[in-house]
Amino acid sequence: MTHRSATLVLATALLLGSAACSSGAEEAPRADEPTRSPSTPPRVDEERVSPPGLPDLPVLDGARGARSDLVGDACAPAAGSATDPAAAVPSVVTGELVNGGSDTADYLVVVSWTNATSDVLARGHQLAEGLAPGAAVPVEVAAELPDEVVACTVNVRRGEWAG
C-alpha cells in the first residue's frame, strides 16, 4: 500500500467515524439525570426563581412595547453614587407617560429591580387607563428594595386592559 493509499483509507475511516457519531440518534440519559417525557415540562430550580411575593401584573390585550412613550430618567442613578453602585439604584422610579399613538390606549409601566445575576428581587407597576392621544400622566413606581439590588429596568406596554 502506497503512502497515498494509506492516507485515503485513513481519511475515509475518519469521515465514516465522524458520521456515525453525528447520526442524529439521541444519547441515552445519564444515570444521574432523571428521565422525563417530551410533554413533561423541565424541572424548575426553585433556588433560581424570583421571590414568590412579587406583585401580579395586569394583562393588556394586544399589548406591544411602548418604552419610548415614557419620558424622564426612569432608572437614573442617584447623583454622587459612583462610589457605591447599590446606592445608585432608586427605590422610586418616576417619569411622564405620553400617549404617542393615534388612539386612546391603556398603558402598563413595570419596573423590575435586579441583583448582579439579573434575578428580579422586587417589582412594581402602574396602570394608566384610557390615555388619549397626546395626553400625559405622571408615573411613580416604588418598591422596598433588598440590599442585593444593583439595577432596575423599565418595561412599558400599550394595549387594552379588560379590568
Is 31 within the bounds of a domain?
Answer: no
**Average pLDDT, integer, range 92-120:** 93
Q: State the DSSP string of 27-60.
A: PPPPTTSPP--TTSPPPP-GGGSPPTTSPP---E
* H/E stretch holding 152: strand 151-161
Structure confidence at residue 8 as a pLDDT band (50, 70, 90):
very low
**Average pLDDT, integer, range 57-84:** 77
| pLDDT of amino acid 28 | 57
Tally of domains within the chain: 1
* CATH number where 133 lies: 2.60.40
Is 30 within the bounds of a domain?
Answer: no
Statement: residue 47 has pLDDT above 70: no
What is the pTM for the complete model shown? 0.66
Is 55 within the bounds of a domain?
Answer: no
Is 26 within the bounds of a domain?
Answer: no
**Average pLDDT, integer, range 147-161:** 91
Residue 93 domain boundaries: 60-161
Is 154 within the bounds of a domain?
Answer: yes
Count of all residues that appear for the chain in the document: 163
CB 151 within 8 A of CB 113: yes
Is 98 within the bounds of a domain?
Answer: yes
Is 46 within the bounds of a domain?
Answer: no
Is 1 within the bounds of a domain?
Answer: no
**Average pLDDT, integer, range 72-86:** 58
CB 54 within 8 A of CB 123: yes
